[in-house]
């Protein structure tokens, strides 16, 4: 008889789960196009074959591109994609919509 092997547990504290990965860069860019400016400031670019950046979390994308201060980069990304930043941005541009003419 062969004995069934139990899956190996990841190192760490017992009962703790690893943090769930966040959204990938492609999802964040679709929802928040302003994020592109932050990426370019930190040198995170999308070359012809760089599918890794789009399918990675912000932390991994920064690591792929050699961003020196990854926590600072992630903080900037979070500020851009935060709900409060989206509301602030939409309020600022609300007055740019064409107004209806009163007849």
Q: What is the Cα–Cα distance from 26 to 44, expressed in whole angstroms?
A: 13
Any domain includes 4? no
* Three-point CA angle 26, 32, 36, nearest 5°: 70
Range of the domain at 44: 25-92
Nearest to 74 by CA among 18, 17, 22: 22
The predicted-structure confidence for 16-58, as pLDDT tens digits, reads as follows 444 556 889 989 999 999 999 999 999 888 776 677 788 899 9
Any domain includes 103? no
Q: What is the Cα–Cα distance from 25 to 31, expressed in whole angstroms?
A: 10
Any domain includes 67? yes
Any domain includes 86? yes
Domain count, the chain: 1
Any domain includes 66? yes
Any domain includes 46? yes
8 Å CB contact between 50 and 12: no
Any domain includes 32? yes
Any domain includes 73? yes
Nearest to 61 by CA among 72, 79, 74: 74
What's the pLDDT score for residue 27? 92
The predicted-structure confidence for 41-50, as pLDDT tens digits, reads as follows 998 887 766 7
């Amino acid at each position: 008889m062969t004995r069934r092997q139990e899956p190996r547990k990841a190192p760490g504290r017992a009962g703790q789960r690893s943090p769930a990965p966040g959204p990938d860069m492609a999802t964040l860019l679709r929802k928040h196009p302003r994020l592109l400016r932050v990426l370019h400031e930190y040198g995170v670019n999308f070359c012809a074959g760089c599918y890794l950046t789009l399918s990675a979390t912000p932390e991994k994308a920064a690591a792929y591109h050699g961003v020196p201060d990854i926590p600072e980069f992630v903080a900037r990304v979070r500020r851009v994609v935060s709900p409060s930043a989206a509301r602030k941005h939409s309020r600022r541009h609300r007055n740019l919509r064409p107004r209806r003419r009163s007849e």
